[in-house]
Amino acid sequence: MKFLSAPWRWDFISRLVREKGCVFCNALKKSDQESLICFRGEKFFVIMNRYPYNSGHLMIVPYRHEDSPEKIPAAEATEMWDLMNRSMAILRRSFNPAGFNLGMNIGKVAGAGVKDHFHLHIVPRWEGDANFMPVIGKTEVVSYSMDTIFEILHKEFNIQGKEVEQ
């Protein structure tokens, strides 16, 4: 088995960075660039994962601080689904991934890193990239700088009047 370095995850893994309060609620108080918020919708926002499993790892998060999606009215949850589709279309167009992992971890025992504010993960995947768990065989990591990814995605999400292909 080969091991790949992912130094950007060190602060998260080692818990050297301990932010007080909710990381998502705190992000909303900062600039988009500082917080890596790519898009602010009506009820949800799209933010890059600061400690990604893969380049372009996005999360769709409600403004409302809730621990589970069943606490969000269906009318509001529709925006989450729309932003998921829009995110995938933008990632396909911008980075050409071969597939995606989508999901939520609800509760600490389910692996939620932020257990009190639910969010939907969108992780682009490429043939031969790093996996969520062990890295197996001849794996290469598709790497882009966080700043470059943010610039591309923020621009794509915020193009006014442009139809997004789905």
Compute the distance between CA of residue 34 and CA of residue 20 in angstroms, rounded to an integer. Answer: 17
Decide if 118 contacts 62 (C-beta within 8 A).
yes
Which residues are catalytic, by number?
119
Compute the distance between CA of residue 25 and CA of residue 126 in angstroms, rounded to an integer. Answer: 31
What pTM was estimated for this model as a whole? 0.78
DSSP secondary structure, 2-31, as one string? -----GGGHHHHHT----SS-HHHHHTTS-
Compute the distance between CA of residue 155 and CA of residue 159 in angstroms, rounded to an integer. Answer: 6
Q: Side by side, which strands form the sheet with 37-40?
A: 37-40, 44-48, 58-62, 120-125, 99-103
User: What pLDDT, on a 0 to 100 scale, did the predictor assign at position 50?
Assistant: 87
pLDDT tens, per residue, the chain with 166 residues = 444 455 544 554 455 556 689 999 999 999 999 999 999 999 999 999 987 878 899 999 999 999 999 999 999 999 999 999 999 999 999 999 999 999 999 988 888 888 899 999 999 998 877 554 434 344 444 466 788 889 999 999 988 545 444 4
Domains of the chain in start order, with CATH, are: 22-157 (3.30.428.10)
User: What pLDDT, on a 0 to 100 scale, did the predictor assign at position 144?
Assistant: 66
In order of 32, 76, 83, 117, 138, the CA distances from 124 in angstroms are 21, 25, 15, 22, 19
